[in-house]
Amino acid sequence: MKNLEELNTIIGELDSYLSNTFTYVDDSLAKIYESMKYSLFSGGKRIRPLLCMITYNELAENPTLDKILPFAATLEMIHTYSLIHDDLPAMDDDDLRRDKPTNHKVYSEAVAILAGDGLLNMSMEVISKYMESLDDIDELKKCIKALKFIYNSSGVLGMIGGQLLDIDYLNEQYNEELCEDMYSLKTAALLKASIVTGAIMAGCDGEIITKLKEFGQYIGLAYQYKDDLLDMNKDLKNGQKTMLDFYSAEEIENEIKSLTNKGLESIKDIEFKDDILKDFCLALIKREY
């Protein structure tokens, strides 16, 4: 991978890999598979798997796509299951996602819950199948280390905990510190895990991982703040709590710049093959959609 223009090719490889994980063993279960695929292939930008694959390619001595695709797929499945559950009436109660009816509006709330559960379980199946094929103990250790980081980041101490804070904001007094905690857990944690997973599978450890964790945290927060600005009118209409409850749009823009600069500063001493990770993250933060 030499530039951002090659990302569409990588996304195509990922989508093929994801599609091949679905094999109907029983027609009576077709509805649950259809529900899972409906959300998994609904036009997502594949940001988390791309962060994982880009980081891996930038840092691995001899990168091979087969080695990182299972982890990229796992990250996208986890992210997608979280969106299905977040959209449910008991959570954020959204009727649209990516300009399409949300999963529970198409398949029912019960099926949507099962589809989310199915994607989470499938994410584990994908990785366990890959690990079963390995003979190298060092590679297995890297897989275990990466998996631990992914599932910690998507669990109660990460993404799930962030959603709980989001729900609690509907009923309790909140402030900017709690809002940032929510952003750190609900959004930044899995983005950071995507970057760190790519680095772990590339064979990195120690100080490089520490610096990339810091980078992922800053970029994850900047990404969420940018979302706040892009969704400003929608969030206001829906009563969604964001940092714009505490700061002006101009102040948020300045914070995005500050977080981005801190993130870039944290990885300035890491020797990447190219600048694709930096360029991709900057493109995310400067996006207008």
* pLDDT in 10s for each residue of the chain, 289 residues: 556 677 888 999 999 999 999 876 678 889 999 999 999 999 889 999 999 999 999 999 999 999 999 999 999 999 999 999 999 999 988 998 988 999 999 999 999 999 999 999 999 999 999 999 999 999 999 999 999 999 999 999 999 999 998 887 655 567 888 899 999 999 999 999 999 999 999 999 999 999 999 999 999 999 999 999 998 766 554 567 789 989 999 999 999 999 999 999 999 999 999 999 999 999 999 988 7
**Residue boundaries of the structural domains of the chain:** 4-284
Alpha helix (H) ranges present in the chain?
7-20, 30-40, 47-59, 65-86, 103-107, 109-132, 137-154, 159-168, 176-183, 189-201, 206-230, 232-238, 249-266, 276-286
- Rounded to whole angstroms, the Cα distance separating 52 from 56 reads 6
> Domain 4-284 - what CATH class?
mainly alpha
Instruction: Say which residues have a Cβ less than 8 Å from residue 106's Cβ, sequence separation at least 6.
Output: 35, 38
Radius of gyration of the chain, Cα coordinates, nearest whole angstrom: 19
Q: Are 33 and 24 in contact (CB under 8 A)?
A: yes
* Whether the predicted model's global pTM rises above the 0.85 cut: yes
Strands (E), the chain: 96-97, 100-101
